[in-house]
Amino acid sequence: MWSEEKEKQREINNAKAEITQAKALKVLLSNNILAAEIHIAGMVMGACNNKWLLPVVKKQVKELNKFLNNKPNLWE
């Protein structure tokens, strides 16, 4: 059985991993040569301009950082 401390550490590790992925996404999105797609509930839509997705990724990183700093957030 998981203790609360271990569960909290697992969430922290997941948040850090997601931040790492988001940083990589930001690099990929800054290059419009690569096609970006949005997948929601099995539906797929391409983005005409990858940079439109950058604010979404930046907002996600902001919420993850709030979580890591024990502030109210939308990620947790």
- Encode 24-44: b = buried (16+ Cβ within 10 Å), e = exposed: ebeeebeeeeeebeeeeeeee
pTM: 0.84
Evaluate if residue 56 carries a pLDDT over 90. Answer: yes
Average pLDDT over residues 27-41: 89
Domain ranges of the chain: 4-68
Residue 1: its pLDDT value, please? 58
Helix (H) / strand (E) containing 17: helix 4-29
Residue 62: its pLDDT value, please? 97
Average pLDDT over residues 62-67: 97
Instruction: Kindly report the number of other CB atoms within 10 A of residue 47's CB atom.
Output: 14
Rounded to 5°, angle at Cα 60 from 57 and 55: 35
For the chain, what is the mean pLDDT? Answer: 92
Residue 33: its pLDDT value, please? 83
Phi, psi of 74 (to 5 degrees): -95, -10
